[in-house]
A and B are shown apart, each in its own frame.
Chain A
Amino acid sequence: FSPSEGTPHLTINHDVAADLDSSNAFEGPEKLLEVWFASSPGTLPTSAGPEGLKSVDNDTWVSMLDMVHCKILSVIKSDAVDAYLLSE
């Protein structure tokens, strides 16, 4: 199986995902935060480059997610959006 260029592909963070235990999770209702830094992908500032937030590496997101108490289980990377599946 070899995906063509541009095909979304999956990366699994095996270290976290292998031994996860949700016994202490107690309810589902989520909090949803959506922060826009430009009105569209087509209006990014020159200083952000065409990739914008997508240029931020995983380790940097990990530092932010630590404060949220989430860990990355896996990621689907694609040209337009990166979808992170998180713990808890």
Chain B
Amino acid sequence: SSMFVFPHKIILKTCGTTTLLLGLQRLLRIAATAGFPFCKASAAKDLRAAAIPYRVFYSRKNFLFPDKQQGPHRSWKQEVKYLDDTFEGGSAYMVGKMNGDHWYLYITSPNKTITPPLTPESDDSVSVADSTASGVRHANDETLEILMTDLDPECAKQFQLSHASAVASDWLSAEAHEARHEAVSSHGGLATPLAEVDVFDNFCDKPMDESAQDVSTEGHALGTVVSESCGLSKIYPTSVYPGARVDAFLFSPCGFSANGVIPASQPDHGEELGPMHYFTVHVTPEPGFSYASFETNVPGGQRGRTTAEIIEHVVEIFRPGRFSVTLFEAKSGANPYGRGNENPAMQRLVDSVQGYRRIDRIVHDFEDYDLVFRFYERE
């Protein structure tokens, strides 16, 4: 599971039997405490000082074992009811084949009642946002998600502790040590070389060199090894994305999670200044219900890697039997594409992925976002 905290939004992506929505009320109260506008106490709904969101997105793939889920997560219907009881103006959608690998989305409209006074520091950054009928939105807001099932057994094996330990042993041998050093150097340390992993108990925020230790937990160390060996670290290499950093963890006996942060383009590169971007990967490699997800908000094409290249790269790591690609992209104006022109999200997702047959192609045209969903099966 992963959580990304930005100044203005939070993204929480949780796996297995986690009860994500049960944390929602607490989240809204935390945001109120942090200074965001909140509604008055409501005994009926227990919304004590709950912050009013600007907008909310909730999505999930259909579950393999819904009976094992807890709280409101046993069905989409219950989740929607929970969200409808909390928010006003939400809309729920199912995307994809109802009798296949479909995907669910709940989305609220932008809350136009939130028109806060701007902080002095923020005035400049408004100029890079674009104003639409729906409110002010930051440019380049897009999210690419690839959900993969039925992973190739050989690829899935990489995310087993026993296999990763063997790889790590090889790496630590005398010959491999040099190769590893070279590989890490060539990637600028993207996946956090083992010698640079520091351990700080209780989240103390010391500079790294004050209490640096050259040992990490086994999970983090092996996560780094797997990131390098499976090719994950090469998706956004620091040679192309300077300052990128990955935090990876290999679970015992199996399973893998990784977060990456990717600094936005620099103004002197002549590109638009944007926020720090992220990507996240989660893998369940067990045969029978193997699954992997990849999600990123790094704009496609930024510094050269196109969305199609990213998809090909990710699919090659896992070689799934089936996968879906979802691109969720903010529209950039009231009539952004011009008459007869296809929207950028659709243009960015090429149809063909080598070795796969496209089964579905679905486009949703929301108020201020486009959603393009494609589903593929191995040929």
Contacts and interface: CB of A to CB of B under 8 A. Distances in A.
Contacts of B280: 83
A83 B259 CA distance: 7
B243 A17 contact: no
A11 B4 CA distance: 14
Contact of B122 (A11, A21, A50, A77): A50
B334 interface: no
A7 B138 contact: no
Given A2-B209, A12-B216, A25-B15, A47 B249 contact: no
Interface stretch (B89-97, B197-205, B227-235, B344-352): B197-205
A27 B247 contact: no
A81 B2 CA distance: 13
Given A28-B282, A63-B26, A53 B9 contact: yes
Contact of B12 (A56, A68, A79): A68
A57 to B, nearest CB: 9
Interface in B257-307: 257-261, 263-264, 275-276, 278, 280, 282-284, 289-293, 295
Given A10-B192, A47-B35, A39 B15 contact: no
Interface of B: 1-24, 26-28, 30-31, 33-37, 51, 53-65, 68, 73, 110, 114, 116-119, 121-126, 128-129, 135-138, 147, 192, 195-205, 207-209, 212, 216-220, 243, 245, 247-249, 251-255, 257-261, 263-264, 275-276, 278, 280, 282-284, 289-293, 295
Contact of A78 (B56, B61, B216, B261): B261
Contact of B15 (A28, A60, A64): A28
Contact of A46 (B65, B73, B116): B116
The interface residues of chain A, by DSSP majority, are classed as mixed
The interface residues of chain B, by DSSP majority, are classed as mixed
Contacts of B264: 80
B36 A35 contact: no
A69 to B, nearest CB: 5
Most buried by B among A30, A44, A49, A53: A30
Contacts of A17: 217, 219-220, 249
A76 B261 contact: yes
Given A36-B8, A53-B8, 7 more contacts: A11-B203, A31-B14, A31-B21, A36-B55, A53-B6, A61-B5, A70-B18
B118 A50 contact: no
Contacts of B24: 33, 35
Given A26-B16, A39-B8, A18 B249 contact: no
